[in-house]
Amino acid sequence: MPTASAHVTVVSTTPTQGSTVTSAPTEVKMIFSEAPTKSTVSVAGPDGKTYSTGSAQATDAVVGIGLSSATLPSGVYTVTWSLTAPDGDAQNGTWTYFYQPPIQPKPPIPAPPA
């Protein structure tokens, strides 16, 4: 009797997939339906530059990667991941979130001298 093979799925993400965040994340995380045996993650900003740092870190079914502490430009960030599932299948995907830092109020214009 053949055995069924199910794909590993993304259960949740931080930041939430498709969300807008107003404070710069220091990392991105994904929770998968099963713990992968191997994984890679990268995060590209709206300017096409890579903002992820180091290698993906996995603890059971949670996979994350740190983000650069540089000033991040506002716009859409694309998280690209790949993994090897417990059954040996290679899987990959992408998801996005939008970073929009809060708008800083302009300082008041001083009144002209009297």
- Spatial distance between the Cα atoms of 84 and 5, rounded to a whole number of angstroms: 13
What Rg value do the Cα atoms of the chain yield, rounded? 19
91: left (phi over 0), alpha (psi -120 to 50) or beta: beta
Q: Which domains does the chain have, with CATH numbers?
A: 10-99 (2.60.40.1220)
Q: Output the six-digit token pair for 50.
A: 């890579």
Tens place of pLDDT per residue across the chain (114 aa): 334 456 899 999 999 999 999 999 999 999 999 999 999 999 999 999 999 999 999 999 999 999 998 889 999 999 999 999 999 999 999 999 999 988 777 777 777 776
- Spatial distance between the Cα atoms of 75 and 97, rounded to a whole number of angstroms: 8
Q: What is the DSSP letter of 34?
A: S
The pLDDT score that the predictor gives to residue 10 is 95
Q: Output the six-digit token pair for 49.
A: 């530059």
The pLDDT score that the predictor gives to residue 3 is 43
Q: Output the six-digit token pair for 21.
A: 């965040």
